Amino acid sequence: MHRRVAIIGGGAASAALLGELLARRPPQPLHLDWYAGGATPARGVAYSTASERHLLNVRAASMGMFAGKPQGFLDFVQRADPAIAGTDFLPRRRYGDYLEAEVAQALAQGRARGHDVQVVPFAADAVVPEDNGVSVFRGEDVHRVDAAVLAIGALPPQPLAGASEAALASGRYVVDPWPLLADPPAEAPGHVVVIGLGLTAADVLLELSARWPATRFTAISRHGLLPEPHLRGTSLPLEDSVQMVEAMLDGPDVRRWLRLLREAIAQEEDWRSVIDSLRPHTPALWAALPLDQRARFQRHARWAWERARHRMPPAVHEGLAALERSGRLHRQRGQMYHVGIDGDGLRMELHPHDRDAAKLQTLHADLVVQSVGMDFDVARTPHPLMRQLVVNRHVLPDPLGLGCQATPQGRLLHEGGEWSRLFAIGSLLRGTLWESTAMPEIRQQARAVADQLLAE
């Protein structure tokens, strides 16, 4: 059993692990150091938004913080409003409230049981794992613990290749959209280009279009397609999903898998039942894929999987459709090539992804907002802690830029094998588990890591 544990990260993943540890009754009290960073503990980036337009992409009934209480969030919101249904997609702000309440309750319960919990309102500067413990550095302070868990959430976004230094220095090219959404300028730009058409881009478009009612928007992506919408009601799971998964595992090849999926979808009334039936099996399927097949999936099929798997709430889909009908939103296929200064605005050149178009296309914008989703590449991130761990070779980057190499149980790897005292949950396990950023997966990871930390 590891009595002294450091939890590093301030978002929902770290909060879920903290709650799992404090809910147990180990034979000896725990000493937990929670390096929560400067943000409000538990909320992180995802749930710090105050906008009612930013909705959860998962139904309320599936958003519980703990594996033992999967409907915990629904119970929380129904205490204030019994009319809320489990199928509702609620504002992320409410989920942040729930996380804060659960953490406060867990801390009070843990301290009442004799556990010592220190909430450190700073990020850890460095982590040095060894066979018999882990040293965590913060400024001049060094704390020695039995084990540490990295739950850092999303890595800071980086400018896309092609964004010129002049464009970045002008402030008109926005790399991280969340500060802009929290406090957009009062003076509305005439034309905004949004790079990306995923769930983050949907948040950007809905929020800025409401704040700037006269602004026009152009959103570009390789395929020009928005995420698929959820149905208003739940869909039934695929009845013979086990048979399909077994067939996929018998031949781990991306092309073969796509053929099997198309055949299964052709036999169902709604394709969502097929995609959703794979969710419990995703780690095993991803583990079965050889590295070259994973790379093929990344190049050719990832975009299609993401828009089918990570769907948007019906209200978000309807809001974006209304923007398009009004003429304020135009979607365009293309890939950014270069962004530079153009007078008081920006000039974007992009590859049009049209076989008949050989020349670059040009867009003029007052503002460009980069909204391409989460960054997982620890080998190139500016995140100070991850840079330290990678440079000192304490962790190994995933070869496809998907977090860190780790065991399926969350133990991080180094050149000599796996660490017995350094774990990760959440986004850093993307390359190991593939599905590793949504709450249903994170709460299972938190329980599994807690089991290992407290094992005799």
Q: What is the DSSP string of 397-444?
A: B-TTSSSB-B-TTSEEEETTEEEEEEEE-GGGGHHHHS--SSHHHHHH
**Same domain, yes or no: 315 and 423:** no
Average pLDDT across the chain, whole number: 94
Choose the final residue of a domain: 309, 336, 360.
309
Residue 238 has pLDDT above 80, yes or no: no
Return d(Cα 113, Cα 103) in angstroms, integer.
Answer: 15
189 and 149 in one domain? no
Residue 368 scores a pLDDT above 90: yes
Tell me the pLDDT tens digit for each residue of 190-207: 999 999 999 999 999 999
Residue 405 sits in the same domain as residue 425: yes
Q: Is there a domain that residue 234 lies in?
A: no
Per-residue confidence (pLDDT) for residue 40, from 0 to 100:
79
User: For residue 257, what are its two tokens?
Assistant: 């898998």
Report the alpha-carbon distance of residue 155 to residue 397 in Å, rounded: 13
Looking at residue 354, its pLDDT comes to 65
Q: For the segment 391-422, what is each residue's pLDDT rounded down to a tens digit?
A: 999 999 999 999 999 999 999 999 989 999 99
Same domain, 104 and 28: yes
Specify the CATH number for the domain of residue 354: 3.50.50.60
For residues 284 and 317, state if they share a domain: no
DSSP string, 77-132: HHHH-TT--TT---BHHHHHHHHHHHHHHHHHHHHHTT-EEEEESS---EEEEETT
The one-letter amino acid code at 449 reads V
The bridge status of strand 345-351 relative to strand 367-370 is unpaired
Cα-based angle 443, 449, 455 (whole degrees, multiple of 5): 135
pLDDT of 169 > 60? The answer is yes
Asked whether residue 208 is assigned to any structural domain, the reply reads yes
Residue 183 CB partners (closer than 8 Å, separation 6+): none
Count of beta carbons in the 10 Å neighbourhood of residue 228: 18
* Residue at token pair 């770290």: 14
Residue 188 domain flag: yes
Please state, for a pLDDT cut of 70, what percent of the chain lies above it. 98
Residues 113 and 245 in one domain: no
Query: Is residue 232 a contact partner of residue 318, using CB atoms and an 8 Å limit?
Result: no
Looking at the DSSP bridge assignments, the partners of residue 220 are 195, 332
Among 309, 327, 354, where does a domain finish? 309
Rounded CA separation 286/248 (Å):
11
Q: Which tokens go with 393? A: 């070779």
Domain count, the chain: 3
Q: What pLDDT does 124 receive?
A: 96
End-to-end CA distance of the chain: 5
What pLDDT sits at residue 81?
96
pLDDT in tens, 28-80: 899 999 999 877 788 988 899 999 999 999 999 999 999 888 899 999 999 99
- Predicted confidence at residue 41, as pLDDT, reads 87
Residues 272 and 411 in one domain: no
Q: Kindly tell me the sign of the dihedral angle through the C-alpha atoms of 446, 449, 451, 454.
A: negative
73 and 213 in a common domain: no
Q: Which band of pLDDT confidence, cut at 50, 70 and 90, is reported for residue 356?
A: low
Tell me the residue type at 244: M
Beta bridge partners of 174: 369
Taking only the tens place, the pLDDT of each residue in 109-119 is: 999 999 999 99
The last residue of one of the domains, among 325, 352, 370, is 370
Which of 281, 261, 257 lies closest to 271, judged by CA? Answer: 261
How high is the pLDDT of residue 352? 86
Same domain membership, residue 132 and residue 13: yes
Examine residue 235 and state whether it is found in any structural domain, yes or no.
no
- 17 and 81 part of one domain: yes
What secondary structure letter does DSSP report for 297?
I
Same structural domain for residues 73 and 107?
yes
Helix 92-112 with 72-80: angle, nearest 10 deg: 110
Domain housing 61: 4-155+375-454
Assess whether pLDDT exceeds 60 at residue 355: no
pLDDT, tens digit (0-9, with 9 covering 90-100), for 264-312 = 999 888 999 999 999 999 999 999 999 999 999 999 999 999 999 999 9
Rg of the chain on CA atoms, in Å: 23
Instruction: Tell me: do 37 and 129 sit in the same domain.
Output: yes
